[in-house]
Amino acid sequence: MKVLATLLLLVNLAVFAYLQLDGLGRGDADRVTQQLNPDQLKPFTHAQVKAMGLDKPAPPMLCLDWGPFAEGEKARAQAAFEAIAEGRSIGNKAVEVTTAFWVYVPPLPNKAAADKKMAELKALGIAEMYLVQDNGPQKFAISLGLFRSEEAANNYLASVIQLGVKSARLAPRTQTLSQTVLLLRDPPPGALDRVQRLKADFPGAEAKQGACNGRAANGG
């Protein structure tokens, strides 16, 4: 009798354990089914995407341009730019500079009159000048200087007038020069301010920072 009671107890325990394990298995399977049920997956609406900021394009890469520089000052400018670049690669691009400002004495009637005027200018203390002899509207004009900036040209004009050259004039003149602009992609913070503080050392150069779109450069 005791043996029968013991066997019944063991059978009941085995059945109970099986039912418990079977229930747990079904619960896990149900949870997995719910998690992977494609009917319950809904795409984000445009409004939701916009609210989360997921539709915003990545900000454009910045480029810092500095120049132009003549061949004689390019190496010095590049060395200063490399210190600001903090290890970033520097490129360069060729540009054509066509603006100049001419200080001159208007054309004289003939070469004899021009030679006489040049002698008068030398007596007033003007050493650098040349006579324009090419055929054209400025033949027998006396060139006193060609300047890249209008401010510098005006300053020189004022100085020669003060010396007594009342006939001196200023006019824009086209002169094509091949020069170089330096280009830095993804400049470090504060690079623009640091370049602008170099204006006294490179008075003819300008610094501009903006999106790199369409800016082609050669490696340097």
Q: What is the structure's pLDDT at 114?
A: 97
In 3D, which of 95, 103, 65 has the Cα closest to residue 177?
95
Structural domain of 27: 1-56
Cis peptide before 189 (omega within 30 of 0): no
- Give yes or no: residues 10 and 116 share one domain: no
Of the residues 56, 76, 93, the one at which a domain ends: 56
Q: What is the pLDDT of residues 60-81, one digit of tens each?
A: 889 999 999 988 889 999 999 9
The total domain count for the chain is 2
Which whole number is the average pLDDT over 107-121? 97
Residues 72 and 159 in one domain: yes
In a 13 Å sphere around the CA of 106, the CA atoms on its Cβ side amount to 4
Closest CA to 66 of 214, 212, 204: 204
Specify whether 126 is located in the same domain as 148: yes
Do 150 and 52 reside in the same domain of the chain? no
Strand 142-147, strand 90-105: pairing: antiparallel
Beta strands in 106-217 (DSSP E): 130-131, 142-147, 169-185, 206-211
Cβ atoms within 10 Å, residue 175 = 13
